[in-house]
Amino acid sequence: MTLTPERRTLLPMLGRTHGTRSASVCHWKCADACVRPDENVSGSERFIDVVRRSAHVSASRRTLLGSSAAGAALATLSFAGPAAAAPGGRAGKPGRPALSTFGFTPIEPVPAEVDAFTVPAGWRWETIIAWGDPVEARAPRFDAANQSPESQKRQFGYNNDYLDIVPLGGSGRRGLLVANHEYTNDDLMFPDFATAGEAKRLVNLETAMYAHGMSVVEVGRRGTHDAWKPVARSRYNRRITLDTEFVLDGPASGSPLLRTSEDPTGTRAYGTLNNCAGSTTPWGTVLSGEENADQYFTGPVAPTAREARYGLNTAGRGWGAVQSRFDLRNEGTRNEPNRFFWVVEVDPEDPTAAPVKHTAMGRFKHEGASVRIDASGHAVAYMGDDNRFDYVYKFVSRDTFRPGPSQAARRHNTTLLSEGDLYVARFNGDGTEDGVFDGTGEWLPLVVGGQSFVPGYSVEEVLVFTRNAADVVQPTAMDRPEDIEPSPVTGYVYIACTNNTRRSQAQVDEANPRAANKDGHVVELIEDNGDATGTTFTWNLVLVCGDPADPSIPTYFGGWQGEVSPISCPDNVAFDSAGNLWVSTDGQPGTIGYNDGLFLVPVEGPERGHVQQFLAVPTGAETCGPQIKVEDGYILVAVQHPGDFADATYASPASTFPYDGVFSGPRPSCVQVLPA
């Protein structure tokens, strides 16, 4: 390991990585995770209870498109059909409104070099806010050539991932847009990234640091069919940056494992990093997962096994030159990384409230967390640890949800994620001779009732070193479990497993059925007796992704036998109110040669598995944070890392998205898609 911060980051890869992203995205987003050793070397995948192992999806379950595959013109979708009105559908609810205004003809797959945002006929798109746009009062206008820490800490950050518009009042015309800023590509942001002298290099570095974090922006629209616009000088507008104080709450708060020389109490942390997916809670706050935070730290020189499990042995980004806590060779900083990798909760309605990092929900490379309220009233959060061979987790609150609009109820509900039980999932296959990838599963206890269930680990140790603790109880090592979301109609839970090109034939199991899995799959998890607080479930694979036009890659589309849009690398999942699943992707250009996009996937009724592409993002981008607001007349997506290629720079961009002339290069943005 080299601990000398690099003067100029020379991308160490050529072209595509061993994963599916461009070398540039892999470098800036995840610190070259695609080419680094796997962080889970516990071997727990070898111990799972797999009755049969198989390398091939049953041919009888495949959906092949034949000659018309990739460019197939697909039938017009009736939204009234899939979930709501299907006779014999497992849980369709009669009497739901027909959603015909959201009918669309799926788009053709868009070749990966096309720099365009593509929507179906009859639809239009419009940017709500983009990197550098003013957020807080006194924020200057975006000036790409002269960005500074002072401007950036008040402007919209870079590479927004999760986003939502939380309603404000009951008019449907006011809302609070909440977005997070996962990472930066400094080579695309700064004209002098490669040439700046030392003083300016540090200014650029600090500017990039302030482009991380989160944003809260009031938005408004004249009528409920009009486009959302930012509201300048709203009292709600707020940047959350490395200066923002967070509360570390829950059972590990104050633990010696969380103390540093900067915070000897172990109860306060500054900033949030590498925030990926998220969700809006039933009580109106926003959750965001801290993911690949290891890349910001230099060192430690000799990581312990527990630290190495979190990837902590990198050269970092040189941030220690700006804030000493990011160089772990400095006195009193060793526990600083323990104050990241959490689920954070932000209350967008209270700009004065300190955001919270919830230690009760465990510490790992959190993709996100999605909350449902169980029939018992407990808040249940599903969470993925997005690394190859990592795990699916569940948190069950100790206390129960208090309904109603009162401030007292809201205050109570914001404490629900502070205390509760933490589990990790084991998926048992029942054999593939039944032609279905399915089986039963168990939620293995890590912390229940305030007690550790992991031999050799205290409660604090389980919560701070959750990955290591989970290894002990041998959960199922998954193919990068990312976003997880329960259906608002059935309560079934959907897990996007993006890909895992490192899985060997010997490591194949029924829940991760393909070796060198470049295209990913989606797991459907059904809690036994509909009890989300329980410890047993059944599961099956609803999608085994890929391009059916390529017969060398087995695919499965929920039993649907007709045409589908090719789909690869499922990342984020969302639902419309009728219970249709929507999947956004991250990595299609590297696997099937098409720009990433957003796809409708009915999961109930006769059209279960009928994948239909709704939109495609520009070249180099991934599609994040989808919100499907059918009744409210819009869809939201984040366009993250547009034009992000290894050979692209500020001076030589690969994309000019969002094509508004404000900047000669790409700007990551929040986009709304509306009926034309």
Q: Are 20 and 499 in contact (CB under 8 A)?
A: yes
Nearest approach in angstroms of CB 162 to Ca ion is: 9
Partner from ligand FEO, Ca ion, none contacting 182, C-beta within 5 to 8 A by type: ligand FEO
Q: Two tokens at 160?
A: 């927004």
**Judged by CB under 5 A, which of 434, 528, 647, 660 binds Ca ion?**
434
Cβ atoms of 269 and 249 closer than 8 Å:
no
Any idea of the CA torsion for 106, 627, 637, 68, to the nearest 10 degrees? -20
The 8-class DSSP code of residue 134 comes to B
CB closer to Ca ion out of 434 and 528:
434
Residue in 187, 206, 218, 571 binding Ca ion, rule: CB under 5 A: 571
Per CB under 5 A, which region of 131-139, 293-301, 327-335, 432-440 contacts Ca ion?
Answer: 432-440
**Of 289 and 548, CB closest to Ca ion:** 289
Determine whether 146 is exposed, middle or buried from the number of CB atoms within 10 Å of its CB (0-12, 13-18, 19+). exposed
As measured in angstroms, the least distance from the Cβ of 600 to ligand FEO is 22
* Helix H or strand E encompassing 614: strand 612-616
- Binding of Ca ion at residue 438 (CB under 5 A)? yes
Nearer to ligand FEO, 291 or 460 (CB): 291
Which residues are near ligand FEO by CB under 6 A? 182, 276, 291, 367, 386, 482
Residue 436 contact, options Ca ion, ligand FEO, none, Cβ 5-8 Å cut-off depending on partner type? Ca ion
DSSP designation for 39: S
Can you tell me which of 208, 240, 422, 436 binds Ca ion, judged by CB under 5 A?
436
- Both tokens of residue 460? 């604090």
Half-sphere exposure (CA, 13 Å, Cβ side) for 230? 25
Q: Which is nearer to ligand FEO, 295 or 533 (CB)?
A: 295
User: Binding to Ca ion by residue 249, rule CB under 5 A?
Assistant: no
Based on the shown chain and the rule CB under 5 A, indicate whether residue 573 belongs to the binding site for Ca ion: no
Structure tokens at 376: 């018992």
Residue 547: which of Ca ion, ligand FEO, none does it interact with, CB under 5 to 8 A by kind? none
CB of 182 to ligand FEO, least distance (A): 6
Per 3-state DSSP, what percentage of the chain is helix, strand, and coil (rounded to 5)?
A: 15, 30, 55
Q: Which residues of 101-110 are buried (b: 16+ CB within 10 A; e: fewer)?
A: ebbbbbbbbb
Instruction: Provide the residue type at 423 as one letter.
Output: Y
Apex CA 419: angle with CA 414 and CA 421, to 5°? 125
Q: Which does 592 bind (CB under 5 to 8 A by kind): ligand FEO, Ca ion, none?
A: none
Contact partner at residue 434 from Ca ion, ligand FEO, none, CB < 5 to 8 Å by partner kind:
Ca ion
CB of 640 to ligand FEO, least distance (A): 9
Task: Determine the Cα–Cα distance for residues 369 and 392; give it in Å rounded to an integer.
Answer: 11
Per the listing, tokens 């205290």 go with: 458
Nearer to ligand FEO, 461 or 571 (CB): 571
Residue partners of 306: CB distance under 8 A and separation at least 6:
465, 468
Considering the complex, what minimum distance in angstroms separates the CB of residue 346 from ligand FEO? Answer: 18
| d(C-alpha 620, C-alpha 641), whole Å | 7
Of these partners, Ca ion, ligand FEO, none, which one is at the site of residue 438 (CB under 5 to 8 Å by kind)? Ca ion
Residue 263 interacts with which of ligand FEO, Ca ion, none, CB < 5 to 8 Å by class: none
249 binds, among Ca ion, ligand FEO, none (CB under 5 to 8 A by kind): none
What's the full length of the chain, in residues? 676
- Which range binds Ca ion by CB under 5 A, 27-35, 262-270, 275-283, 440-448? 275-283
Q: Which is nearer to ligand FEO, 386 or 527 (CB)?
A: 386
Q: Under the rule (CB under 5 A), what is the footprint of Ca ion?
A: 276, 430, 434, 436, 438, 482, 571
